[in-house]
Amino acid sequence: MHTHHASRIWHGRAAAEGRPGIVGLNGYIAVMNKMKRGSEQDDPYSDWWMLRIEEKLDQTKATLQSLREQVDQALADVPAALSLGENLNVQPVKLPLFVNAQLGFAAVYLLADYDDIARKLILAHHTALIDRSTLERWLNEGAHALRSLFSLAQQYRYSGCTRDDFAAKNAAARVAMDKFGELPQDVLEGTRRSKFSPPIARQGLQQRSVISAAAVLPGEEANTDGDQSA
């Protein structure tokens, strides 16, 4: 990170008296990891959330792209006879990351993009190409887009049910629907999922099938033997 503007978004802000907390990049990534595991476990609500986050990522990317075009246009006003140097931090902040979900990496790229935009905005202001109010407005616009993404992700909750529960119309499905609302039919059926959705793991179902078969087969053999001896 070359700017403290991006660094603040990375870290977020802890809740304090009279001041709500703001989730940072690490908090967002933790939610994405949980969301991916929920999707693997065939939770349709996790799939729905992945689609919502994917859409929000696209919106955030579009906002940052618009900002980049504006700052590039401002920097293009430098006279051809002059050349502006890169205002890189000689000691950029290096922060560790542990990301297991593609939607987490997507946000990392967006924050890195914002860091680069912020650096160029600061350069444009320093060289009198934009005024302070424009600098602050554009910085805040990019920061708000990222924080809005992180805030949306913070609302995710794992439902604890699977599509099999909905197919069976059991109590778990009814509780989830009462708590989280109805799902689009194509999401519920699993025909529409995020392009980054993981394969659905059905090991639990397979294990139950094997156990059931193992429990039934010996009994069937015993009954057959009994019939033969009679």
- Could you tell me the pTM of the whole model? 0.81
pLDDT of residue 203: 53
145: amino acid identity, one letter = A
One domain for residues 153 and 206: no
Q: Average the pLDDT over 101-121 and give the result.
A: 95
Which residue range forms the structural domain that includes residue 227? 202-230
One domain for residues 42 and 125: yes
- Mean pLDDT (the chain) is 84
Contact 22, 12 (CB under 8 A): yes
Q: How far apart are CA 187 and CA 48, in angstroms?
A: 6
131 has a pLDDT exceeding 80: yes
Helix pair angle (4-11, 102-126), 10° resolution: 150
Q: How far apart are CA 125 and CA 103, in angstroms?
A: 33
Q: Average the pLDDT over 43-49 and give the result.
A: 98
Contact 45, 176 (CB under 8 A): yes
One domain for residues 104 and 23: yes
Pick the closest to residue 42 from 158, 180, 166, 162 (CA basis): 162
Q: Average the pLDDT over 66-88 and give the result.
A: 78
201: confidence class by pLDDT, cuts 50, 70, 90:
confident
Q: Average the pLDDT over 177-205 and give the result.
A: 89
One domain for residues 132 and 217: no
pLDDT of residue 78: 74
Q: What total number of domains does the chain contain?
A: 2
One domain for residues 217 and 152: no
